[in-house]
Amino acid sequence: MEIKKLNIIITLGLVAIIGILIAQLLWTRQAYNLEDKKFNQTVNIALLEVVQKLSGGKTSFTESPIQNISNDYYVVNINNEFHPAVLEHYLRTEFTRFQINTDYVYALYNCHSDKMIYGKYISKKQESPDNKAIKFPKHKDLVYYFSIRFPDKASYLISSLRFWYILTFALIIILLVYVYSIYTIIQQKKFSELQRDFINNMTHEFKTPLSSIVLASEALNKHDIIQENSKLQTYTSIITTQSYKLNNHIEKILNIARNDASGLSLKPQRIVLLPFIQEITDTIKQRNDDLFIQIEIDSSTSIIADEFHFTNMIYNIIDNSIKYCETKPSIIISANKDSKGLYLKFKDNGTGIPAKNIPHIFDKFYRVNTKRNSEINGFGLGLFYVKKIVQQHNWKISVVNNTDKGITITLFFPFFKFNNA
């Protein structure tokens, strides 16, 4: 995906999430206002009931006896004397009936002393903080009245809207995670492109002098003086062989860098496994005299695969078995089928792989730490390449340690991916 398209998608996603967050904040604010309005209406109704009971239903008012002085402060006109204990009883009864479950405190006006007499702090908790000081200003126009405050009204309303606040908090977390994820993706993409460009440039710079070395060594090997001298012939053969090996490594790196960007180009065809693998193993045995390979594959078994990449897969798997073996390499290549598909197994007698490292052996540039790492050639790309080929063909690959020694690599070909001759 191009950077420009990626930036557009990221911007649209960011705008969408911010829009949702702003809408959620507005909805939460509106919900708080509605809850506040509902609370005030409920308190007014409850206090009207208290007024009716205190007056015995005889007092009539031309206007509402309840005045909402501030957000949490109410003044209630009675026009009749009443006892504090009776008032507290009615307040408790009506607030419980109307489910007003928050702390409140009331005070009475004493016309004889012309002062507000502190009543009582009523708490919904077990302990009531009677000594909590609350200020009640005197009302100049009323004679028989009481005042009531709700000191924890804001926290009470917020607790009743906790679902909205939790949802808003979750959206904020999602937005932060989204921003961090996008930032990480962009950084990884830039790093990946930088790495791929570096590998392409580096390997191309290597190939030019390497090609010259290969041509020069091959031309040198044809001279009579080299043909007559066995030592010189050995030296030139070593130069040629190692040059080809280095060239194969460079090609492998180039292919992986190219495939990361555009994917593999496959040309599937039918491959009969027995002669195909036999030819590969014969070639490998020519360079490894002490190598033992046993092939247990039916002559009629065939698969559909890209010949070039499948050949490289077999080479990589066998080459790893040889490199990571401290004794005489012994490899058993077998194939068996069931109702699901074909299983091609490569069992060796190598050093094995620690269980904790097995999930990572197909990662790019990953190499298991061993004492012989410095002696073993490679870049940690062989099994990564194998995994890429397997994924492109829609096959499966697995690795397990043998009970005795070494590992077994299993390639699974689903039943619709191989044919029998």
Whether 346 contacts 408, CB under 8 Å: yes
pLDDT value at 3 more than 50: yes
Residue 149 lies in a domain: yes
Residue 59 lies in a domain: yes
Residues 416 and 341 grouped into a single domain: yes
Residue 253 within any structural domain of the chain: yes
* Domain that residue 89 falls in: 3-160
Contact 256, 384 (CB under 8 A): yes
Mean pLDDT, range 3-21, rounded to an integer: 77
pLDDT at 73: 86
Domain endpoint, select from 228, 262, 296: 262
- Same domain? For 369 and 395 the reply is yes
What's the confidence (pLDDT) of residue 378?
Answer: 56
pLDDT of 133: 60
Task: Determine the pLDDT at residue 261.
Answer: 53
pLDDT tens track for 310-328: 988 898 899 888 888 888 8
Query: Per-residue pLDDT tens for 23-62?
Result: 878 888 888 888 888 888 888 888 888 888 887 766 666 6
pLDDT digits (tens, 9 = 90+) for 63-97: 778 888 888 888 888 877 778 888 888 888 888 88
DSSP state of 263: -
On whether both 134 and 191 belong to a single domain, the answer is: no
Is 173 domain-assigned? no
Predicted local distance difference test score (pLDDT) of residue 420: 45
pLDDT at 421: 40
- Residue 342: which of 406, 273, 239, 265 has the closest Cα? 273
Among residues 206, 233, 262, the one where a domain terminates is 262
Q: What is the pTM for the complete model shown?
A: 0.47
Overall average pLDDT of the 175-198 stretch: 76
* Structure tokens that stand for 135 in this block: 């200020």
Residues 112-121 have a mean pLDDT of 74
Q: Quote the pLDDT of residue 11.
A: 80
Domain count, the chain: 3
Is 128 found in the same domain as 49?
yes
Domain assignment present for 176? no
User: What pLDDT does residue 343 have?
Assistant: 94
Query: For residue 338, is pLDDT > 80?
Result: yes
SS3 of residue 394 by DSSP: coil
249-253, 285-289, 354-358, 396-400: range with highest mean pLDDT: 396-400
Please give the C-alpha separations between residue 269 and each of 198, 304, 340, 417, 418, in angstroms, as whole numbers. Answer: 34, 5, 21, 11, 10
Condensed to tens digits (0 to 9), the pLDDT of residues 120-145 reads: 788 776 555 555 566 677 777 777 78
Rounded to whole angstroms, the Cα distance separating 403 from 296 reads 20
CATH number at residue 186: 1.10.287
Reading the block at residue 320, the tokens are 């790893």
Mean pLDDT, all residues of the chain: 79
Domain assignment of residue 166, yes or no = no
Pair (251, 284) in one structural domain: no
Q: Which of 17, 18, 24, 21 is nearest to 163 (CA)?
A: 24
E strand or H helix at 409:
strand 407-414
The answer to whether residues 116 and 233 belong to one domain is no
Same domain, 10 and 156: yes
Helix H segments across 222-272?
224-228, 230-262
